[in-house]
A and B are shown apart, each in its own frame.
Chain A
Amino acid sequence: MDRTERILDLVALLLDAREPISWAELREHFPADYGGSDDAAERKFERDKAELVELGFPLSYVQGDDERRDGYLVDRNVYYLPEADLTKEELAVLYAAGSAALASGAFPGRDDLAHALRKIGFFAGESLPTPRVRMELGTGQEGQEKEVSARLEQLWDACSAHKWVQITYGSPRKDGVTERRVDPYGLALRRGVWTLVGYCHLRQGLRTFHVHRIRELKVNTARPRTPDFEVPADFSLDAHVAYFPWQYRFHEPMEVTLQLTGPQASRAGSLFPGAALEPVGEGVVRARFPVTFLDGLARFVLSLGADCRMEGPPEARERLERMAANILAKHAPVEGQRVSA
């Protein structure tokens, strides 16, 4: 019998059973499947049971007593999906986000997500919203969606089963690629780019990897149901992934002060989330925050224009002025070219 068919038969049998079903009875019911030697039959049934548990099938083994015999039983109250009573608005949020993630082509756990959306929509009937939210996620450039999507799916499985992965990684900072074994702790999305955070056995420490820069990826397939590692209890993804370029952990933290005026003053909170903001006059705001990559901040401050000034410390001002001088030198008028101001 086809394995899918056999497992569905088991579901139908167990959902209908009022009494526990013993192993002997199961062998009787499925003579062609669970026949043969005791060992082979048991191994086959163990695999089917594992599949059922993975499907979320609430299967348990009951030890019998005077009243009841030993056997397998399913808690029907736990099996069936209850109505979640989501409001129209809640359903719209989950649907818009879920289908945007699916349509993006690159979201970890795509299959899981598709099933989840179907299930929460089961009771909604015709009132299901048709979302029009689209996201371009995870890729460095066009045409990479398929690869990134496939890798995210493998990483999602590896993260949830706690299995190590072997990656071939190409960083733009260095020529060539490196081979690494990584314990995947989690995945973070920042500004449209997916980052893998995990313990790198090559570097003997926590490292981050852009998923679109992973050239090859293999998940450890040995003993699939046994975890290879534990994620430390105090681990937090957010502590390892930068939102903004000045948060890359290249240097020791340095506190900088910026002065924002005009339209940038009212945007200070969203430009520099987490900064301590202090009004210092009519429409002028001072922002203080720690920086671990000064060049990243200097570039951003330059691009914001006249309404954002670096106040200090002097080291940061100097860095910014040197950068500005370098750009000006590169953009000095070329002789013979007419410049219209």
Chain B
Amino acid sequence: MSNVHERLRRLLFLVPYVSKHPGVTVDALAKALNISREDLLEELDLLTCVGRPPFNPDDYIDIYVDNDRVYVDLDQRLFAPPRLTAGEAAALAAAAELLRPATGDALQSALTKLEGIIPPAARERFRDMYRKIDASADAPPALGPLTRAILERLEVTFGYASPGRAPEPRRVRPYELLSHRGQWYLQGFCHTRQDARLFRLDRMEDLAVTTTAFQPPPDARADVPNPARSASEASVRVRFTPTAAPYVKERFGQDARPLADGGVEVRVAGDSERWLTQWVLSFGGEAEVLEPASARAAVARAVHASIGS
């Protein structure tokens, strides 16, 4: 998209926004438009030159900054933004699919209403474009209540099955949901463990949103799980054949050490035996644990268990 196009879209939104929020601060307006303060001030300068012929003084947009707040006195009929374009509606509808089916009826009704605010002439194009992105991520049902609990700042309880252990009850302040490589995680403060924790949504059961409110910390951002970067002492050396090497290199980048035969070697955290064995087995015969011997034995045990020998 050209810069002119982006700028026009921004400016056609800016004037109505100030009209609706008279006295909005320069910083808040810049944030709403996702541009820098300097760029915003430049845009405001340009707008004072915009108007309609015959360009008498009253024909110009009268927008100004006073005491770091923005006001508009003459909006020249730009009091509401333009409708959604087909592309805008399609991108939003495709993004909404990320949370399907967790969001249930709310998603479907939202999409119906969305279609209602596109100009009728653009609807066919919207449907055509919407079909061009398929982002259905098979979101787990727990996303719905967890999103609500995060927004409403309410604690949640659930049973959590750590690998190899029976589910145990947890009470958690939910901070953030994170999807990484198709797996959903909840980051939050666990009362049971008195510590920040990352929970996999597929290991939760009997999730309930309580009525206990909490104040989240200002910046609770979960770290993306990366087995090659974990700080664990118990590291495991895994060798991959030349067949699997390109895929492992693609995933681990420089953390994958090239070997003379064209294969690669990776060091990963070995503190979760279940994760490690599942991961190694998922490469069929293309991965081999080199050390420690206990991890090699764990893989062999897992294979025996799988084939019932």
B117 to chain A, nearest CB (A): 5
- Judge if A306 is at the interface, Cβ distance under 8 Å: yes
- Judge if B176 is at the interface, Cβ distance under 8 Å: yes
Say yes or no: B85 contacts A112, CB within 8 Å: yes
Say yes or no: A9 contacts B53, CB within 8 Å: yes
Specify the main secondary structure of chain A where it touches its partner.
Answer: helix
B45 to chain A, nearest CB (A): 11
Say yes or no: B88 contacts A340, CB within 8 Å: no
Say yes or no: A108 contacts B91, CB within 8 Å: yes
Residues of B within 8 A of A101 (CB): 95, 98, 135
Q: Please name the residue on chain B nearest to A238 by beta carbon.
A: B134
Say yes or no: A84 contacts B116, CB within 8 Å: yes
Number of A-B pairs whose CB atoms are under 8 Å? 361
Query: Which of A90, A160, A305 has a CB less than 8 Å from the CB of B132?
Result: A160
Say yes or no: B182 contacts A116, CB within 8 Å: no
- Judge if B215 is at the interface, Cβ distance under 8 Å: no
Given the known interface contacts A109-B133, A186-B131, A186-B132, the answer about A116 and B92 at a Cβ–Cβ threshold of 8 Å is yes
Distance in angstroms between the alpha carbons of A341 and B116 in the assembled complex: 64
Query: Which size bracket describes the interface of B in this complex?
Result: 35 or more
Interface locus among B65-73, B192-200, B206-214, B299-307? B299-307
Distance in angstroms between the alpha carbons of A96 and B110 in the assembled complex: 13
Say yes or no: B179 contacts A134, CB within 8 Å: yes
Bitwise, A31-60 to B at CB < 8 A (1) or not (0) is: 000000000000000000001001111100
- Judge if B23 is at the interface, Cβ distance under 8 Å: no
Query: Which of B81, B226, B284 has a CB less than 8 Å from the CB of A122?
Result: B81
Distance in angstroms between the alpha carbons of A327 and B244 in the assembled complex: 14
Interface locus among A62-70, A247-255, A283-291, A295-303? A295-303
Query: Which of B13, B89, B134, B175 has a CB less than 8 Å from the CB of A118?
Result: B13
Residues of B within 8 A of A16 (CB): 52, 76-77
- Judge if B222 is at the interface, Cβ distance under 8 Å: yes
Query: Which of A51, A107, A142 has a CB less than 8 Å from the CB of B4?
Result: A51
- Judge if B1 is at the interface, Cβ distance under 8 Å: yes
Q: Please name the residue on chain A nearest to B306 by beta carbon.
A: A302
Residues of A within 8 A of B134 (CB): 186-189, 237-238, 241
Distance in angstroms between the alpha carbons of A295 and B133 in the assembled complex: 29
List 16 interface pairs A-B (beta carbons < 8 Å), by A numbering: A5-B50, A8-B12, A9-B50, A56-B122, A78-B121, A81-B82, A96-B147, A100-B98, A109-B87, A112-B87, A112-B92, A115-B85, A116-B88, A122-B81, A135-B180, A187-B132
